[in-house]
Amino acid sequence: MNVRSVRTVLVALVMLCMSAAAFAQIGVMISIAPPALPVYEQPICPGDGYIWTPGYWAYGDDFDDYYWVPGTWVEAPEVGFLWTPGYWGWGGDRFIFTEGYWGPTIGFYGGINYGFGYFGNGYEGGRWDNGHFFYNRSVNNVNVTVIHNVYNTTINNVTVNRVSFNGGNGGITVRATAEQEAAARERHVPPVAAQVQHMQAARADTQQRASVNRGKPEVAATAKPGEFRGNDVVKAKEAGAPYTPPAKNQPRGNASVPRPDNNNNADRKPVHPSDLPPATRPTAPNTGDAKRDQKYQQQQEKQATKQDQERQKLQQQQEKEHQQLAKQNADDGRKQQVEQKHQQQTQQLQQRHEQQQQKLQTRQQPAAPRAEPKPAR
């Protein structure tokens, strides 16, 4: 068995043994943009309680190629939970994949228009009501003789494109709102076992690779996770854009790395407040002086609240500037200037907050004990 085969087996074993929570914290960094999203139809919903999870391009670092993970219907892990899709984002020098998750609120998924209710912001495909999921028939393929929890709401003003990544040249310029950032901090769960197995099945199928299907996968969507054969399998109608294979000696990507919000990627500098790692809360002090400890705890909370407000304010300000650029149809040069300004603003904010935290911790250090006077001889 050669080195690559050994590596592939080890990766597969790790993927199977890792907990779902750990899997959700792993991202991939690639130097080549993902292909455009293919055009395909949605298979019919298999039953009540299933929620649509759109297809996406994943990356196999062991065979250096993107592969299509078909859209599929998945049973929600909990009543009231919705699916926030994963997405590719530009990290300054590489494309980084952020994993999707289940939660009570839809979070940020890059502004990508995956279709079928996921039009870049929120979810228009259905809603929970009194423990039952109701489907919007205007964007979902539902058999009303089987599923009776339906309604019709037409969605207007949807920009149709097949762009599959956020940021960078040609990418979506949308940024996360304060509400979407809050959704990411809510209690949520990573992809369920059926989704992980579905992804692994797509990874193992060479027909799903972009170099083979040229952006038009044979299996674009399935009725249930992992079912890649049968009448309920949907083939892509066409590629989202002409497929251009990468240059032969062009650097591609590296192995799985921790997601940037874990702050382990020191080479990637934050561009926006949403790129910063979550603010840390120091542990409660215990110096033996109860009043002093209580006062310090209050100072910590006050400072943390103020810093969160400053982050949100800067994020909202930068979002407005992005919206203005979009309205003005600004060229790439102007967009780059604004991104450089945003990066400088964000780094200055981060440095100021770190200095404030260090200053507060220094003030809390217990006073050095006074030296006992030496006895007179």
Are 41 and 164 in the same domain?
Answer: yes
Are 180 and 232 in the same domain?
Answer: yes
The low-confidence residues of the chain, meaning pLDDT below 50, are 1-26, 254-268, 368
- As beta bridge partners, residue 164 has none
Residue 297 belongs to some domain of the structure: yes
C-alpha span between 67 and 212 (Å, rounded): 9
Are 248 and 283 in the same domain?
Answer: no
- The pLDDT of residue 59: 95
Domain edge (last residue) among 262, 292, 310: 262
Q: Which residues contact 325 (CB under 8 A, 6 or more apart)?
A: 173, 334, 335, 338
- The pLDDT of residue 24: 35
The answer to whether 198 and 69 are in contact (CB under 8 A) is yes
- The pLDDT of residue 349: 85
The answer to whether 99 and 23 are in contact (CB under 8 A) is yes
The answer to whether 71 and 220 are in contact (CB under 8 A) is yes
- As beta bridge partners, residue 136 has 151
Q: pTM of the predicted model, to two decimals?
A: 0.63
- As beta bridge partners, residue 253 has 30
The residue segments making up the domain with residue 49 are 3-262
Residue 372 belongs to some domain of the structure: no
C-alpha span between 256 and 27 (Å, rounded): 6
Are 135 and 155 in the same domain?
Answer: yes
- The pLDDT of residue 22: 32
Domain count, the chain: 2
Are 95 and 185 in the same domain?
Answer: yes
pLDDT tens column, 286-320: 667 778 778 887 888 888 888 888 888 888 888 78
Give the dihedral sign, CA 144/147/153/159. Answer: negative
Collapsed DSSP state (helix, strand, coil) of residue 169: coil
Are 169 and 130 in the same domain?
Answer: yes
Domain edge (last residue) among 262, 289, 316: 262
Domain edge (last residue) among 262, 283, 311: 262
Residue 375 belongs to some domain of the structure: no
Residue 358 belongs to some domain of the structure: yes
Tell me the CB-side half-sphere exposure of residue 236, using CA atoms within 13 A.
Answer: 25
Residue showing tokens 């870049």: 120
